[in-house]
Amino acid sequence: MLKLSPEQRQLIEKIGIYHEQQGFPPVVGRIIGLLFVSEKPYLTFEEIIETLNISKSATSNALNLLLQMRHIEYTTFSGDRKRYFSALLDNWNQEVVNKMNSILAFSKLLRQANDLRGDANPDMNQKVLDRIEFMEFLSSQVPMLLEQWLKDRQK
């Protein structure tokens, strides 16, 4: 079991709550939190279970979901059968682009809803249209912002 400070444990719980509010099972967020606050670059399945005091089944399910979503990765070491898990930190910019694509896809669905609803509620139509237009604007700006940020970091 990892030795964590009360502040680290509290932050793990806050990260867990944040992810729970995003629709993830509680264990998923707590594992992400642990991987981010741990001083160790990799954690074993057993370390995660013992440190978070969660079941093998819940841990396995959460790790599989996180792997599938590309939020974490694992590595193995020669002569050791264990998998060592870590936060996947190299793909964050692709994750941002994916979220923007998701927002854009939802804005298209809202546009269809507005079209199907007709003109009976013009106030609602305008509010939905404002949301659609902002989501489309945001989606168009994020790739450029990301590119500019990456250029600025290289200076």
The domains of the chain are located at 6-87, 92-154
pLDDT in the model for residue 40: 94
CA Rg value for the chain: 20
Percent of the chain topping pLDDT 90: 77
Q: Is the pLDDT of residue 94 over 90?
A: no
User: Hey, what CATH class is 6-87 in?
Assistant: mainly alpha
Locate all alpha helices (DSSP H) within the chain, ordered by sequence.
6-21, 26-37, 45-52, 56-68, 92-117, 122-154
Q: Is the pLDDT of residue 106 over 90?
A: yes
Q: What whole-number distance in Å separates Cα of residue 122 and Cα of residue 142?
A: 30
Q: Is the pLDDT of residue 143 over 90?
A: no
pLDDT tens-digit series, residues 28-80: 999 999 999 999 999 999 999 999 999 999 999 999 999 998 899 999 999 99
Q: Is the pLDDT of residue 111 over 90?
A: yes
The letter for the amino acid at 126 is Q
Where does the pLDDT of residue 95 fall: very low under 50, low under 70, confident under 90, or very high at 90 and above?
Answer: confident
Model's pTM, two decimal places? Answer: 0.78
Helix 56-68 / helix 45-52 crossing angle, nearest 10 deg: 120
